[in-house]
Amino acid sequence: MTAFWAQPDYDDHELVQLVRDPASGLTAIIALHSTHLGPGAGGTRFWHYAQPEAAMRDALRLSRGMSYKNAMAGLPMGGGKAVILADEGSAKSPELLAAFGDAVNALGGRYVTAEDVGISEADMVAVSQRTKYVSGLPVEEAGDAGGDPGPFTAMGIYHGIKAAVQHKLGKDSVEGVHIAIQGTGSVGGGVAKLLAKDGAKLTLSDIDMDRARTLATELDAQTVEADAILGVSCDVFSPNALGAILDEDGIARLDCAIVAGGANNQLARAADGKRLHDRGILYAPDYVINAGGIISVTLEYLCAQHGQPCDINEVRKRLAQIPGRLTDIWRKSEASGEPADMVSDRMAQELIGRG
């Protein structure tokens, strides 16, 4: 048997906790990659995995991504992630969420959770009945930071796309720039609305085509079927659905100058960053461009810990720093000839004491 720590996605994670609660049906994995900069922060995913190995892979890769994301966003947090393994078609019960809250609580604050795919704000409220190590809770005042991270993530990606367009195409605005958006959910839909206001030309796609078409009608955009979006001839391809879409085949199909979107773990393998680089496609490392949500929920969490209200302007200020970070990575990549994802990984590793 291969030792667990010899598997490719294990990266000296500080802790990998398997959680079972037969009474509620909870099966979960909590992975803490690094707490060098602070408690491991990262959302909880509720997903049906065909194989448990895929759930472990997600927990390991996503928690490492959170270490990098928090470090590069300048947050005093480490990286963690939880996945709850759902049975096919099964729903979340109050008992299951309570048992998950107990498991988070048992870690005594080393892990701070929030929403991710399949987990809503209401679910986080249920988890918060059992543990205080929760962020992404509903905000009481309209001017407060926190709550659903999706709109903040979308805002950060919007800033990042504009930076990429300026860097690669030399344009100060996205007016008339053609952007193909994969996924029109919380993040992709938000990005599309912000870009449409600036006059970008949009092509939208989703496996839920009704959702894509409804948004396209609202924004006067085009749509293509889900399997066609990678090959759309455009300036920017913006992946905002699930990860690992940039593999050898996917990258060969791209017909764009820039890849910049919010999906986590867009590169299927480490070598795929080099593939993009070799094709001359400017890549915005996913965990840098999509940090808006974690910036908001972390500031909310830290303010709550100190019993203070959290000013949304502080979140906006930090979101506006995303373009500068991306431009720094691209310049270093151009100077060294290394792919942008490698440059970014190394910068993040240095920040978490693993340089």
Which residues in 207-266 contact ligand NAD (CB under 6 A)? 207-208, 211, 226, 240-243, 262-264
- Closest by CA to 308, choosing from 300, 316, 317, is 300
Residue 87 and residue 232: Cα distance in Å, rounded? Answer: 35
140 or 210: whose CB is closer to ligand NAD? 210
Q: Is 193 a catalytic residue?
A: no
Q: Does 79 bind ligand NAD (CB under 6 A)?
A: no
- Minimum distance, C-beta of residue 65 to ligand NAD, in the bound complex (Å): 9
- Closest by CA to 346, choosing from 331, 329, 321, is 329
Which residues lie below 8 Å from residue 249, measured CB to CB, with a gap of 6+? none
Residue pair 38/75 in contact by the 8 Å Cβ criterion: yes
Residue 140, both tokens: 């009481």
Q: Does 290 bind ligand NAD (CB under 6 A)?
A: yes
- Minimum distance, C-beta of residue 57 to ligand NAD, in the bound complex (Å): 14
Q: Does 80 bind ligand NAD (CB under 6 A)?
A: no
- Minimum distance, C-beta of residue 180 to ligand NAD, in the bound complex (Å): 11
Q: Known binder of ligand: residue 44?
A: no
- Closest by CA to 202, choosing from 181, 218, 182, 185, is 181
- Closest by CA to 192, choosing from 217, 166, 215, is 215
Residue 353 zone, left/alpha/beta (φ > 0; ψ -120 to 50; rest): left
Query: For residue 217, with 0-12 CB atoms within 10 Å meaning exposed, 13-18 middle and 19 or more buried, which class applies?
Result: exposed
What is the 8-class DSSP label of residue 111? E
Question: Quick one: how far is CA 97 from the chain centroid?
Answer: 22
Contact flags string 1-40 toward ligand NAD, x per CB under 6 A: ----------------------------------------
26 or 73: whose CB is closer to ligand NAD? 73
- Closest by CA to 61, choosing from 287, 283, 330, 327, is 287
Which position among 67, 184, 298, 333 is part of the footprint of ligand NAD (CB under 6 A)?
184
- Minimum distance, C-beta of residue 87 to ligand NAD, in the bound complex (Å): 19
Query: For residue 171, with 0-12 CB atoms within 10 Å meaning exposed, 13-18 middle and 19 or more buried, which class applies?
Result: middle
Q: Does 293 bind ligand NAD (CB under 6 A)?
A: yes
Marked catalytic residue, from 81, 92, 162, 201? 81
Q: Known binder of ligand: residue 188?
A: yes
Which position among 70, 186, 203, 298 is part of the footprint of ligand NAD (CB under 6 A)?
186
Q: Does 147 bind ligand NAD (CB under 6 A)?
A: no
Q: Known binder of ligand: residue 187?
A: yes
Q: Does 117 bind ligand NAD (CB under 6 A)?
A: yes
Q: Known binder of ligand: residue 186?
A: yes
82 or 98: whose CB is closer to ligand NAD? 82
Residue pair 28/63 in contact by the 8 Å Cβ criterion: no
Q: Does 136 bind ligand NAD (CB under 6 A)?
A: no
| Count of residues of this chain found to bind ligand NAD when the rule CB under 6 A is applied | 27
Which residues lie below 8 Å from residue 331, measured CB to CB, with a gap of 6+? none
Q: Does 298 bind ligand NAD (CB under 6 A)?
A: no
Binding site for ligand NAD (CB under 6 A): 116-117, 149-150, 153, 182-188, 205-208, 211, 226, 240-243, 262-264, 290, 293
Residues annotated within the binding site are 183-188
Active site residues: 81
**Binding-site residues for NAD(+):** 183-188
